A = this chain, B = another copy of it.
Amino acid sequence: MAPSVAVENLNPKVLKCEYAVRGEIVIHAQRLQQQLQTQPGSLPFDEILYCNIGNPQSLGQKPVTFFREVLALCDHPSLLEKEETKSLFSADAISRAKEILAAIPGRATGAYSHSQGIKGLRDAIAAGIASRDGFPANADDIFVTDGASPGVHMMMQLLLRDEKDGILCPIPQYPLYSASIALHGGTLVPYYLDEKTGWGLEISDLKKQLEDARSKGIDVRALVVINPGNPTGQDNQCDIVRFCKNEGLVLLADEVYQENIYVDDKKFNSFKKIARSIGYGEDDLPLVSFQSVSKGYYGECGKRGGYMEITGFSAPVREQVYKIASVNLCSNITGQILASLVMNPPKVGDESYAAYKAEKDGILQSLARRAKALEDAFNNLEGISCNKAEGAMYLFPQIHLPQKAIEAAKAANKAPDAFYALRLLESTGIVVVPGSGFGQVPGTWHIRCTILPQEEKIPAVITRFKAFHEAFMAEYRD
Contacts and interface: CB of A to CB of B under 8 A. Distances in A.
A391 interface: no
Nearest to A64: B110
Interface in A5-59: 5-7, 9-15, 17, 19, 22, 30, 53, 55-59
Contacts of A358: none
B75 A79 contact: no
A316 B14 CA distance: 12
On chain A, which size bracket covers the interface?
Answer: 35 or more
A191 to B, nearest CB: 18
Contact of A332 (B10, B149, B303): B303
A142 interface: no
Contacts of A343: none
Interface in A315-332: 316-317, 320, 323-324, 326-332
Given A221-B4, A314-B3, A332-B334, A302 B11 contact: no
A110 B73 contact: no
A435 B250 CA distance: 38
A333 B338 CA distance: 13
A15 B319 CA distance: 10
A263 interface: no
A158 B5 CA distance: 10
Contacts of A113: 302
Contacts of A299: 110
Contacts of A183: 157, 324, 327
Nearest to A15: B320
A135 interface: no
Given A72-B79, A73-B72, A334-B334, A11 B60 contact: no
Contacts of A22: 115, 323, 326, 329
A176 interface: yes
A7 B160 contact: no
A304 B286 contact: no
A300 interface: yes
A418 to B, nearest CB: 17
Contacts of A4: 221, 248-250, 286
Interface in A270-306: 286, 294, 299-304
B63 A110 contact: yes
For this chain, the copies found in one complex come to 2
A85 interface: yes
A112 B301 contact: yes
Contact of A300 (B87, B110, B327, B335): B110
A368 interface: no
Interface in A181-224: 183-184, 219, 221
Contact of A58 (B71, B79, B111, B180): B111
B159 A10 contact: yes
A56 B106 CA distance: 11
Contacts of A333: 302-304
Contacts of A68: 75-76
Contacts of A105: 58
A110 B63 CA distance: 7
Given A110-B301, A301-B329, 6 more contacts: A10-B158, A22-B323, A56-B111, A58-B105, A71-B76, A304-B330
9 contacts: A5-B313, A10-B161, A11-B158, A12-B161, A14-B323, A55-B111, A58-B112, A110-B301, A304-B329
**Top 8 A-B residue pairs of the complex, sorted by shortest distance between their CB atoms:** A58-B111, A72-B76, A4-B248, A304-B332, A22-B326, A302-B333, A57-B111, A57-B108
